[in-house]
Amino acid sequence: MKDGNKNIYFKAYGIYVGFIVVMIVVLVKTMSIQFDGAGKILSFGEDKLPIRMVNKIPRSGEILDMNLVPLVTSISFFDIRMDPTVIEDKTFDKEITDLCQGLSNLYPDKTARQYEDDIRTAREKGNRYLLIRKRVTNEERKKIAALPIFRLGKMKGGLIDSIESIERKRPNGDMLSRTLGYFNDQGKDVVKVGIEGAYYDYLKGSPGQEIEQRISTGWKKTGKIVKEAVEGADVITSFDKEIQEVAHSELERQLKSQEATSGCVIVMDVKTGFVRAISNLTRDKAGNYSEKLNHAINAIEVPGSTFKLASLMAALEDKKVRITDSVRAVGRYKFPGKTFEDANEGKGYGRITIKQAFEKSSNVFSQIIFNAYKSEPDAFLSRLDKFGITKPLGIAISGEGIPKFNRPGDKKGWSGLSLPSMGIGYEISMTPLQILNLYNSVANNGKMMKPQFVQEIQRHGETIKKFDPIVLNNAICSPETVRLLKLCMEGVMSNGTGKNITSSLFTIAGKTGTARLLDVKKGYDGEKKSYQASFVGYFPADNPIYSCIVVVTNPKVAYYGSVVAGTVFGAIANKVYANTLKYHKAINENRTRSTETPLFKNGHRTDIFNLMNHFKIKPIFIDPSDWLVGILEENKLTLKNLPISKDQIPDLINMNAKDAVYLIESCGMVARVIGFGKVVSQSLKPGEPIFKGGVIEINLH
């Protein structure tokens, strides 16, 4: 082989081997990124700093009500650090004093001189990761970024900010807290409670990856993102915050007045089964009420007289009775080992029809059901099974109580008293939600819907999953039975135990219930008597839209269902009716959809964005500020910055009351609100100096 050819071969082999070496180096360096501290071992030179890959925390999705009002949101907290070595000498000397004064104004726990000493020392020692402040909010972070030197950015101003944690917050306090729930991962033990737990896979998002570098003071983020974090999706619940607030406040008011142990309220949309409100309150030792347990979903107790609807439904379906049949309501109904009494001190009501017995909630139903099914008690239980009330509803939220029904043949549970007891709602246990679903089915003309708490999952305003109404049973009973049951429940309100629960604007159908609770040690014969008062029904009776149940446990002042629970039902129904436009036909008739862009109140960008998503409006410009003012010109919307200063009275004109009060209280002042609508005037002019404890009166119209 000639020498020239040999040289060519050697060069080719050299290039090939060199290429292989380069590929190996690239592969090794890439793998080193995957392991904590591996960069230090695999660095080629002492000047190379160790690196590692860390997760980038995603922002969890929000939980919203049906109108996109936040119920659970995520608040980001940031660590603010500084690399003073990148700042030019001239800029540093000129602006360091102003920077430190600005930091001291924001955080007075350190003087400007102390900040300056720390920064100068770090600059001299080459500290490129000086901690300025931990756990600052996004609002504070933006103010820091606007300070001298820092406004030059990371490369020239040395500002380094990174998310330290993201925390879940409930802007409405304790309201709905038990149903909203939480997700807690403790390694082996994963606790999933409420909506947060049930829909955590949607809410959690997907973590990203970023590179950290090790310096003398520890690990610091380099700003190099390998994989962006994906924010969690938003869960749109079925709750209506306005109805929820009414249910919560009315229940709490009554519990306090009755000094009750606990109570719950559920409001459900009749046609769809979507739950519009749910409140659970328990009394603590200090006499305060809070959401500790979800009584509505998991508390199984004897329903008492509200179960008479199921008893009558079974007897009618099996053609055992007619509502016009007469019975002797003598007041005391004796069975071997037990006597049941009517609520009027056992005086009875004389000879009345079965419809009247239902209206007056007479315990003659124990006798009616016993006589109808004593020779075939299995038939009674079989009919209840067909109604679908003897098994759980299978709701998405965990912890649903399992209904308990004694059955013939049960050695411990069944006795000669079981059938008459079950006829009036004893020797069985159900949750308030399960009882409500039965009544909702009657209101819905026999169609049983599955209760649901979530309507939709969205990401960035786009629907990724929709939850349609689910039918559990198309017809739990015949149309004729439904018609008769509705007549009986309407009679309760006009002639029976619910006469005190009235409305001049619409009719109500329902049933009262008063149940004696079992003493764990002494049964029902214990000296210490405790009761559960309940009312369940729907409204308006002629065209049902909402069904509702109210349960109050162990009230101390009174214990009858009509007085204790019925008044809460009535208050909720009246307020919901007054505030719901769909009841008022004249307002909704002959509507035409406008093509014009609506006017926006000034406010926070989150609320405005939610409105824009809802109405599918796209502005021509959006300022990157938290507080925005909407400017409408030629049917086009522009969102511009609404200046908010910590030291000056904000401009509150055209804001809603919520945003205006928030800004006033954030300044350390007190808001006095007059009227409804949007702010049309304020007692202190925008731009005037803020003084702590001062009062700003805002007029809304």
pLDDT band at 694 (very low <50, low <70, confident <90, very high): confident
Q: Where are the domains of the chain?
A: 3-50, 53-172+205-237, 241-580, 593-642, 644-701
* Per-residue model confidence as pLDDT tens digits over 496-515: 999 888 777 889 999 999 99
Angle at the Cα of 436 from the Cα atoms of 430 and 437, rounded to 5 degrees: 95
Rg for the chain, CA atoms, rounded: 34
Specify burial of residue 110 (Cβ count, 10 A radius: 0-12, 13-18, 19+): middle
Q: How far apart are CA 41 and CA 531, in angstroms?
A: 72
pLDDT score of 663 more than 90: no
Closest CA to 291 of 277, 274, 270: 277
Q: How far is CA 104 from CA 22, 115, 144, 156, in A?
A: 52, 8, 11, 22
Average pLDDT over residues 332-347: 91
Architecture of the domain spanning 53-172+205-237? Alpha-Beta Complex (3.90)
Bridge partners (DSSP) of residue 673 are: 698
Phi and psi at residue 151, to the nearest 5°: -70, -10
pLDDT score of 110 more than 60: yes
pLDDT band at 350 (very low <50, low <70, confident <90, very high): very high
* Per-residue model confidence as pLDDT tens digits over 166-185: 788 888 889 999 999 988 87
pLDDT score of 345 more than 60: yes
pLDDT band at 4 (very low <50, low <70, confident <90, very high): low
Closest CA to 172 of 289, 64, 60, 297: 64
Q: For 59, what's the count of Cα atoms within 13 Å in the CB-facing half-sphere?
A: 16
Residue 218 backbone class (left: φ over 0; alpha: ψ -120 to 50; beta: rest): left
Longest Cα pair distance anywhere in the chain, in angstroms?
A: 129
* Per-residue model confidence as pLDDT tens digits over 254-311: 999 999 999 999 999 999 999 999 999 999 999 999 999 999 999 999 999 999 999 9
3-state helix, strand, coil in the chain (%, to 5): 35, 30, 35
Indicate the fold that domain 644-701 takes in CATH: Trypsin Inhibitor V; Chain A (3.30.10)
pLDDT of residue 699: 84
**Range with the poorest average pLDDT among 245-249, 255-259, 594-598:** 594-598
pLDDT of residue 19: 73
DSSP 533-577: EEEEEEESTTS--EEEEEEEES-SS---HHHHTHHHHHHHHHHHH
**Range with the poorest average pLDDT among 7-16, 79-88, 542-551, 555-564:** 7-16
HEC per residue, 269-318:
ECCCCEEEEEEEEEECCCCCEECCCCHHHHCCECCHHHHHHHHHHHHHHC
pLDDT score of 635 more than 60: yes
pLDDT of residue 39: 42
The CB-based long-range contact list for 462-471 (8 Å cut-off, 24+ gap) reads 464/233, 465/202, 469/271, 469/272, 469/273, 469/274, 470/273, 471/447
pLDDT score of 527 more than 60: no
pLDDT of residue 519: 63
Closest CA to 422 of 406, 444, 436, 411: 406
Residue with tokens 């609320």: 607
Residue 695 backbone class (left: φ over 0; alpha: ψ -120 to 50; beta: rest): beta
Residue with tokens 């919203």: 64
Q: How far apart are CA 196 and CA 183, in angstroms?
A: 6
Instruction: Reply yes or no: is the peptide bond before residue 50 cis, omega within 30 of 0.
Output: no
Range among 159-163, 173-177, 580-584 with highest mean pLDDT value: 173-177
pLDDT of residue 586: 44
Range among 65-79, 275-289, 598-612 with highest mean pLDDT value: 275-289
pLDDT of residue 660: 84
From the CB of residue 592, how many other CB atoms can be counted at a distance below 10 Å? 5
**Range with the poorest average pLDDT among 72-76, 254-258, 534-538, 628-632:** 628-632
Q: List the 509-516 sheet strands across, edge first.
A: 289-290, 275-283, 262-269, 546-553, 531-539, 509-516
**Average pLDDT along the chain:** 86
Q: How far is CA 156 from CA 57, 101, 112, in A?
A: 27, 20, 21
Average pLDDT over residues 327-351: 92
User: 3-class SS at 516?
Assistant: strand
Percent of the residues in the chain that have a pLDDT greater than 70, as a whole number? 85
HEC per residue, 135-187:
EECHHHHHHHHCCCCHHHHHHHHCEEEEEEEEEEECCCCCCCHHHHCEEEEEC
Residues whose CB falls within 8 Å of the CB of residue 161, separated by 6 or more in sequence, listed in order: 78, 79, 80, 81, 141, 144, 145
pLDDT of residue 599: 61
Bridge partners (DSSP) of residue 24 are: none
Indicate the fold that domain 241-580 takes in CATH: Beta-lactamase (3.40.710)
Average pLDDT over residues 625-635: 72
pLDDT band at 40 (very low <50, low <70, confident <90, very high): very low
Q: Enter the tokens of residue 8.
A: 């060519």
Bridge partners (DSSP) of residue 283 are: 289
Q: How far apart are CA 449 and CA 394, in angstroms?
A: 11
Q: For 72, what's the count of Cα atoms within 13 Å in the CB-facing half-sphere?
A: 32
Residues whose CB falls within 8 Å of the CB of residue 602, separated by 6 or more in sequence, listed in order: 627, 628, 629, 630, 642, 651, 653, 654, 655, 659
Residue with tokens 């459900």: 268
pLDDT of residue 65: 94
